[in-house]
């Protein structure tokens, strides 16, 4: 990973001249009565006085802020205002400092329930193959089906490197699923972690989203609405599985040594070899070439293609299909059996082909390259063991180094933690002492995240010299582990850490913006998305409520908007609300999934 040095000069450049005059930043949605309540003000010097006022301007509380000092992450000096002691429900509250007031906010029970539903509704909006109906989303966001009856053939011919791919002798019906992000690609590796997050939320609270609680076409089928939405993606992943007996020629083995100046992510793939690909999963289905902005999915003119199977995609299928098999048992036994069969086929195929990696060789879609799939093997083994109890899967779990090593926040290229969460929370055959050890590992990770709060002025459980692509999802995946630590221990400090994360996403940040559309006085409005593209075409809508921006990115400033900011922004300020800024303001299923999980976890009523 590239690492840049944040210099003193850059700190001075990033600090706005008006920092002394900025209003306090806080969660623009508000707070539950008993939760911690913190605002941040960018000001140097001695502790500054603050007041809490109601909608009529009456003072309800007052105090002194706690200076943090210079904060490299935000590029400014900050002070923290803690008004947690005020618990009276109401609306229109503000924190005032030096004559400037924060955005208005509420205090009430159940404040996160609408956010959880809207973050979940994002996935209905992202559905492929079916019309998005006005009766569920409103006329503004309704659209015809994108890519209905999607029968795709394998990519064949020369890729961008000039490598010749022979293709395959079959086509697959891969209709449905979720569009991955702001483009029209559908990716198994990103779908896998997103689907797992959905199913984990269900497994934790199966009664939280009963039939009819969400606006979905499946309402009335007597199944959980959360399972209904998850099944959309599960059905798609099942369709991406290679038929038995198919021989394919693909690169096998580690990438070739890097050439001078060649980045690791762009390494040349290994030589081609013919494999028995039956049971593997194709990496993705996507356009042959990138489409322009804007481009509603029903107008996509590009040829749709299956891209080569990979070991990582195959293990994503194995893991989620195993999860499916236990959760649909008793709900739809036939579907559960279908999922288990697919999971076992995928596991066998991955064991047979353990080194088939994605290549960054194609136009029109993201590469999602991953040269270490030991974490996916562990995750898949854990899910299969939790579902079947079979000794072969337990042996694979125990043989993995991920069973005993320190855990971190999950992400699509680092999925081992998902397996640990399953083994620590789902009843299985592990001895109690081992389950206790796995839970302790999650709590230990949560403690490290809380310790990180001391290293940044905005008091979030995250410290990095530079912020990565999709930094908001990294933070929210940490919040998920903090939530689990609270579930295990009932220690209030872990819920406080989750609150710190959601506060940042909803406005307690140096930009003073809520990164979630429709939530906050100044919420993100112009995501990188080909349909929610109102800023480019007035006939198209902006985003619906509940859509999460990827957030600040100071490590891969690859789009034209970000490139102009490079070297001129502190890590937390490398962001722009601009549809062209795909590196800063794209949306994605694996980013909205933890937003949903965290909001649902925070809802006091479930």
Q: Which residues are catalytic?
A: 183, 528, 577, 586
Which stretch of DSSP H or E encloses residue 51? strand 49-53
List helix spans (H) across 462-532: 471-489, 492-505
Q: In angstroms, rounded to a whole number, what is the distance separating the alpha carbons of residues 28 and 51?
A: 17
Pick from 374, 369, 299: nearest CA to 533? 299
CA 516 to chain CA centroid, nearest Å: 13
Handedness of CA 384, 399, 248, 356 (dihedral sign): positive
Task: Give the three-class secondary structure for 466.
Answer: coil
Task: Give the three-class secondary structure for 166.
Answer: coil
Q: In angstroms, rounded to a whole number, what is the distance separating the alpha carbons of residues 87 and 83?
A: 9
Residue 454 exposed, middle or buried by CB count within 10 Å (0-12, 13-18, 19+):
exposed
Residue 221 exposed, middle or buried by CB count within 10 Å (0-12, 13-18, 19+):
middle
Would strands 151-154 and 105-107 be described as parallel, antiparallel, or unpaired?
A: unpaired
Q: In angstroms, rounded to a whole number, what is the distance separating the alpha carbons of residues 474 and 462?
A: 8
Pick from 434, 427, 449: nearest CA to 397? 434
Would strands 105-107 and 30-31 be described as parallel, antiparallel, or unpaired?
A: parallel
Q: In angstroms, rounded to a whole number, what is the distance separating the alpha carbons of residues 486 and 454?
A: 20
Task: Give the three-class secondary structure for 387.
Answer: helix
Cβ partners under 8 Å of residue 146, min gap 6: 128, 129, 179, 184, 296, 297, 298, 300
Q: In angstroms, rounded to a whole number, what is the distance separating the alpha carbons of residues 191 and 184?
A: 13
Task: Give the three-class secondary structure for 38.
Answer: strand
CA 120 to chain CA centroid, nearest Å: 12
Q: How far is CA 119 from CA 125, 407, 447, in A?
A: 10, 26, 27
Structure tokens at 535: 């800023």
DSSP conformational letter for 163: -
Contact 153, 305 (CB under 8 A): yes
Q: What is the residue-wise DSSP string for 107-137?
A: E-TTTTHHHHHHHHHHHHHTBSSS-B-HHHH
Q: How far is CA 603 from CA 109, 208, 598, in A?
A: 8, 10, 9
Contact 342, 317 (CB under 8 A): yes
Q: In angstroms, rounded to a whole number, what is the distance separating the alpha carbons of residues 544 and 141?
A: 7
């Amino acid at each position: 990973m590239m690492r840049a040095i944040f210099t003193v000069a850059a700190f001075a450049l990033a600090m706005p001249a008006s920092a002394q005059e900025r209003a306090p930043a806080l969660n623009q949605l508000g707070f539950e009565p008993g939760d911690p309540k913190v605002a941040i003000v960018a000001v140097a010097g001695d502790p500054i006085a603050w007041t809490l006022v109601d909608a009529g301007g009456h003072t309800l509380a007052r105090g002194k802020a706690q200076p943090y000092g210079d904060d490299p992450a935000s590029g400014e000096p900050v002070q923290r205002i803690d008004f947690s002691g005020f618990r009276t429900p109401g609306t229109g509250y503000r924190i005032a400092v030096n004559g400037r007031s924060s955005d208005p906010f509420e205090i009430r029970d159940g404040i996160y329930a609408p956010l959880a539903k809207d973050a979940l509704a994002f996935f209905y909006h992202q559905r492929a193959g079916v019309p998005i109906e006005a009766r569920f989303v409103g006329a503004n966001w309704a659209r015809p089906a994108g890519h209905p009856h999607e029968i795709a053939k394998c990519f064949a011919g020369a890729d961008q490197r000039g490598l010749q791919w022979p293709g395959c002798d079959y086509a697959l019906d891969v209709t449905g699923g979720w569009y991955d992000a702001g483009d029209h690609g559908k990716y198994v590796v990103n779908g896998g972690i997103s689907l797992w997050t959905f199913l984990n939320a269900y497994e934790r609270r199966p009664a939280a989203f009963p039939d009819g609680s969400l606006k979905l076409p499946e309402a009335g089928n007597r199944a959980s609405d959360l399972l209904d939405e998850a099944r959309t993606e599960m059905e798609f992943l099942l369709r991406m599985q290679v038929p038995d007996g198919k021989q394919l020629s693909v690169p096998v083995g580690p990438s070739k040594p890097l050439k001078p100046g060649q980045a690791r992510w762009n390494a040349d793939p290994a030589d081609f070899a013919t494999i028995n690909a039956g049971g593997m999963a194709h990496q993705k289905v996507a356009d042959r070439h990138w489409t322009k902005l804007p481009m509603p999915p029903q107008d996509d003119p590009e040829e749709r293609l299956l891209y080569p199977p990979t070991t990582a995609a195959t293990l994503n299928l194995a893991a989620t299909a195993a999860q499916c098999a236990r959760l649909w048992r008793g709900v739809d036994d036939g579907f559960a059996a279908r999922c288990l069969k697919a999971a076992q086929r995928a596991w066998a195929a991955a064991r047979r082909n353990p080194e088939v990696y994605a290549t960054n060789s194609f136009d029109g879609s993201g590469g999602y390259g991953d040269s270490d799939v030991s974490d996916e093997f562990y995750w898949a083994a854990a899910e299969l063991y939790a579902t079947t109890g079979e000794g072969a899967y337990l042996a694979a779990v125990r043989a993995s180094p991920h069973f005993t090593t320190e855990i971190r926040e999950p992400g699509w290229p680092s999925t081992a933690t998902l397996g640990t969460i399953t083994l620590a929370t789902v009843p299985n055959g592990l001895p109690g002492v081992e389950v206790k050890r796995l839970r302790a590992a999650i709590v230990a990770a949560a403690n490290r995240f809380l310790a990180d709060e001391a290293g940044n002025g905005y008091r979030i459980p995250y410290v990095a010299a530079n912020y990565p692509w999709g930094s908001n999802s990294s933070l929210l995946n940490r919040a998920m582990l903090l939530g689990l630590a609270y579930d295990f221990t009932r220690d209030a400090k872990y819920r406080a850490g989750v609150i710190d994360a959601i506060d940042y996403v909803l406005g307690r940040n140096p930009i003073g913006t809520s990164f979630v559309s429709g939530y906050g006085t100044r919420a993100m409005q112009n995501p990188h998305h080909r349909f929610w593209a109102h800023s480019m075409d007035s006939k198209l809508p902006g985003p619906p409520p509940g859509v999460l921006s990827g957030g600040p990115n100071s490590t891969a400033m690859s789009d034209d908007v970000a490139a102009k900011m490079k070297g001129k922004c502190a890590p937390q300020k490398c962001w722009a609300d601009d549809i062209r800024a795909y590196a800063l303001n794209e949306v994605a299923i694996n980013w909205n999934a933890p937003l949903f999980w965290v909001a649902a976890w925070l809802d006091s009523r479930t």
